[in-house]
Structures are given as C-alpha cells and as structure tokens.
Structure 1
Amino acid sequence: MFSDVEGAKRFYGDVLGWTFGESSSAYGNYTQAYVDGKAVAAVVPPMPGQEGQSQWCLYLASPDAAATGERIREHGGEVLMDPMQVGDFGTMCLAREPGGAVFGVWQAGTHEGFEAAATPGAYCWAEIFTREPERTDAFLTAVFPYRMKEIDDDAVDFRMFDIGEDTVLGRMRMTDDFPPEVPSYVNVYFTVDDCDAAVDRATKLGGILRFGPMSSPFGRFAALSDPQGANFSVIDIATTEGDMPTIKEV
C-alpha cells in the first residue's frame, strides 16, 4: 500500500525486476506485480484514512474469512476491515494482532495468491516483529492451525510456525535496538540472486539500509526501508553460512 504507486513501481521494478499489469480502477487501482509472468505481489494506493502510511501487508490464507475474523476478535485481535468480497477473486479482511502488527486474511476465489515463491523477485518468508511476543504467540496458535517451535538459543527470542511439515511464518521479539516509535510489524522477505547487489540498487534509488547484509544458515539477507518508508527485506537463499540452529517444539 503506497502513497505514490508509480514511485513504488519504479523502485521495486528496478530492485526486484518486477513488471506490472494494468491498474484496476474497479478494485481501488490494484496493480499486480509479476516476475517471468507469475504473480508475486501487488501495489495499491492507501485506503481512505490511511494516507501517508506506506507499508507491505501479508495476507494469510483462510478457507472462511468471516470465521477467521470472528476468531481474531475472540482471541484479542482487532478486525480493521470486515470481510469484503472482491469480485470473483476472493474475500479479504484486514486485522491487527494483539502485539500491534497489521496483516490481512484472504479467502481465495479465482485468485489464490503467490504464483511463485523462493525464486528471484518473489516472496520468500515473513516474520512478525512484536514487542509483546507472548500475546502474539498465543493469538497466532489460537486463530490459525499452527504448530509452534523455537530456536534453542538464549541470545534470541525467535519462534516459527508450521502447518504440517511446512514452516510458514516467524516471530521475532523486538529489542531495545528498535526505536520506541517503530510499531510492531510484519517483515516480508523477497528473494534475490545477489543480496549485496540488491542493496546497492535499493540505496541508489533512495532506499535506506537498516541491517546487513549478513550471511546466515538460511541465506544472505538485509533489511531495508523503501523511499516511502515501507519496511522489507531481501535474501539470497543460495548463499549460506554457518550451521543450522537447534530447533525445539514449544
């Protein structure tokens, strides 16, 4: 969601190699982004009342958006926009979890979501950065069919959420390194084939490097803010370093 949609298209087109479809005026000027012809994201202008708050929003899949909205309310979350049908494409709602991070819920119709993932230019991973991890963890496992596990390391408070055999979401406790004015948020990672080159492209176009680049067992990654202030990360999953951490069930 961007105050300057054309600016976002230029920035992410250059940084991540996206191309864009036609803007759909019937659906709030929603514009689909593609890599090699596959849908990987979308850009839209802000909704009324949310101007000046450019940000990425991750949508979590649901078989019944209305039922998920009820569970969100029952377990301490807030529904910011009631479930709304979007033509034949699906049904969406927007919510805030108890720790403060905003996310979406999507009940698929003809549009199921990402057509590519974990390939250059496409979505790879997401983490909820929260100041209230206990509330966030309890909420996520109550609302969604997640099994929770954590990295067995006293130096980091990081949990992961599985559906079946797939790990689909992370949760990181926000430390004092984050300025107090930064609210809890969902950090979305996009895949790149060279992290350092992607950071160089982003910063030359007005992006701000927040962290990294850093190599890890999961890949070489960096955290950025785009010129409009939306936070995101890039990761090269082919460049890894170090041993995988010990992970235990919670």
Structure 2
Amino acid sequence: MSGVEPGTPCWTDLATPGLADAKRFYPELFGWTGRVSPEPAAGGYTVFLKDGRAVAAAGPPAAPDQVPIWSTYVATDDADLVATRVEAAGGQVVVAPFDVFDQGRMAVLSDPAGAVFSVWQPMAMRGAELFNAPGAMCWNELVTSDPEGARDFYALVFGWHAEEQPTQPAPYTGWRCGARIVAGMTPPLEELPADLPAYWSVWFAVADAEATAARAAELGGTVLVPPRDTPRGRLAALRDPEGALFSVLTLRPGHTG
C-alpha cells in the first residue's frame, strides 16, 4: 500500500487504561491478531492485524485521567502546518507535533466544539493497510451540535467542503476532499447523553451487525444503539468494557462507509 491521500482518514487507535482487556475484547470481536511494539517507550502499543494487514491499534492513555477513546487520524504531508492552521481557526493543539520513532509524525488536535482528532504525517508507517472490509475501518464521522462552526473550521484546516446529502429521515453532511467524500458529519443521536461533547466516531465494517452487537455484549461491552438501517448499511453503536465508543456497520453493496 502506498499510503492514504492527504486529507483522508488513514488510521485509528484506542487509548485506554484497560489495554489488557482491549487486547482480549477486540480480537474476539473482530478476529484481529495483535503485534506489540518492541519499543519500551511505546508502553505496549499493540497494532491489530486482520488477515495479516494492519487495521487499528491500542495503547495506554497519554494522561492517567484520560477517558478511553478511539481516535481518527487524518493523513497529512505536514503535521506542523496543520497544527498552525488549527490554532488559527480557533481550535486547540492538545499535543504538539512529535515524531513517533521512525514511523511518522503526529499531533493531537481539537476543533472549537471540543472534538478531538489526530493527524499523521507518514514515514515508515503509512497508515492502515485494509479498509472497508470486515474487521477494518470503514467510516469516520464527526458528531457535533455545531455544524456551522465545523464547516468553517475543517475547510480552513484540511480544505474540506461540506456537502448535504439527501438521505432519510434527515439530511446528512459529507466531507469532500478533492474528488471524494472522505468522512461525514451528523448531529448527536437522541440515545446518547445530552452533555456529551462533540467527538469523532470510528466505524468498523462487519459481516453481520446483529451478531457483532450481540457478541460485544457477551464479551462485556454495551450496545448503545441497537442495529438499525442507515443509507450506508446496518449500523450499531457500541461501547467496549472500558467505555470507549465505536460503531459497527454491515455495508450495503456499493458503499464504502
């Protein structure tokens, strides 16, 4: 794989204090195998593989009080430039750009509504090696109650253009980067807590959303939103045993998230 185009989600990882539990839960749920980083400073950072290809990872949190969270990484040619744009657009640099060994350069950032995301400037590690297949990331979505602010912010930071898509029961916003819709935006689900701040959600493709949701519950997770039909396929919103939110999607034919 030659890597993902700049401005496109390219990787996801889980920061969690329950790393040992994550290394049990997700392989049993998605059929992943784990490859632990040999670098002592990586703190047991584990890359998950599906059919031998990297799809996601999990590692310890950056701070002891950090809540467990799946992060969306957007590919870039210049992490430092993106961090500068984020500040200029009213966002926050949560973690300033830094090199991750010889793998790449990253930064952790947030938009003005508090949605946290990361950028990845690839070196040895290009990003995920599999997308839109069962057990792999298939979509990334900004959940926010401030869509107008998000439109301005992400246009300045990544050059994205928000496009309304005529879907039912409500219109849906896609983020266009060049010729492609690379991510989405939606208001918060009614089922989620009203005080939940804006966030980026990560979706994984599965062969059967019902079976995956049931299996997640058996493994100690929580089904937040039971499987439901969406324009992209059948979706369920889940939490892992430590509380990290993620979604699973049985893709409709012809859809890639």
TM-score (norm 2): 0.88
**Among candidates 205, 220, 227, match of residue 191 of structure 1:** 205
Aligned equivalent of 1:181, options 190, 195, 217: 195
Shift of the alpha carbon at 1:239?
A: 6.6
**Secondary structure of 1:139's partner?**
helix
Please tell me whether the aligned partners of residues 161 and 170 of structure 1 are also in contact (alpha carbons under 8 angstroms). Answer: yes
Q: 1:224 to 1:175 in 2, by over 3 A?
A: closer
Corresponding position: 1:219 with 2:233: yes
CA 1:22–1:168 in structure 2 vs 1: closer, same or farther (change >3 Å)?
same
Q: 1:31 and 2:31 equivalent?
A: no
CA RMSD of aligned residues (A): 1.9
TM-score (norm 1): 0.90
Spell out, residue by residue over 1:30-70, the C-alpha distance to the aligned partner (whole angstroms, 9 max, x if none): 1111001100001001113444x101011111100000000
User: 2:111 aligned with 1:103, yes or no?
Assistant: no
Which blocks of at least 5 consecutive residues in structure 1 are unaligned?
Answer: 245-250
Out of 17, 22, 25, the position equivalent to 1:11 is: 25
| C-alpha distance in structure 2 between counterparts of 1:177 and 1:19, whole Å | 32
Q: Distance in 2 between matches of 1:135 and 1:234?
A: 27
- Measured in 2, the distance between the counterparts of 1:238 and 1:27 equals 38
Identity, % of aligned pairs? 37
State the Cα distance separating 1:90 from its structure 2 match. Answer: 0.6
Picking from 222, 228, 234, the partner of 1:208 is: 222
Tell me the residue number matched to 2:60: 45
Letter in 1 for 2:33: T
How much has 1:27 moved relative to structure 2?
2.3
The one of 68, 74, 78 aligned to 2:82 = 68
Pairing 1:134–2:148 present: yes
Question: Structure 1, residues 85-136: CA drift from partner, whole Å, max 9, x if none?
Answer: 1121110100111111111011111111110000110000011111211111
Distance 1:179 1:157, change over 3 A: farther
Aligned 8 A contact 1:27 1:86 in 2: no
Q: What is the Cα deviation at residue 182 of structure 1?
A: 1.5
Single out whichever of 209-218 and 194-203 deviates more from structure 2. 209-218
Tell me the secondary structure at the aligned position of residue 220 of structure 1: strand
Are the equivalent residues in 1 in contact too, given 2:209–2:236 (CA < 8 A)? yes
Q: What is the CA-CA distance between 1:175 and the residue it aligns to?
A: 5.7
Amino acid at match of 2:48: A
Aligned equivalent of 1:56: 70
Alignment match, 1:90: 104
For the residue of structure 2 that corresponds to 1:58, the secondary structure is: strand
- Call closer, same or farther: CA 1:16–1:219 in 2, change over 3 Å: same
Aligned length: 240
Contact 1:99 1:133 in 2 (8 A): no
Unaligned stretches of 5+ residues in structure 2: 1-14
Whether 1:171 and 2:206 are equivalent positions in the alignment is no
2:191–2:224 Cα contact (<8 Å) kept: no
Q: Which moved more, 1:39-48 or 1:15-24?
A: 15-24
Between the aligned partners of 1:109 and 1:5, the Cα distance in structure 2 is 26
How far is 1:159 from its partner? 1.0
Q: 2:36 aligned with 1:22, yes or no? A: yes
- The offset of 1:177, in angstroms, is 4.7
Deviation at 1:154, TM superposition (A): 8.9
Q: Secondary structure at the match of 1:56?
A: strand
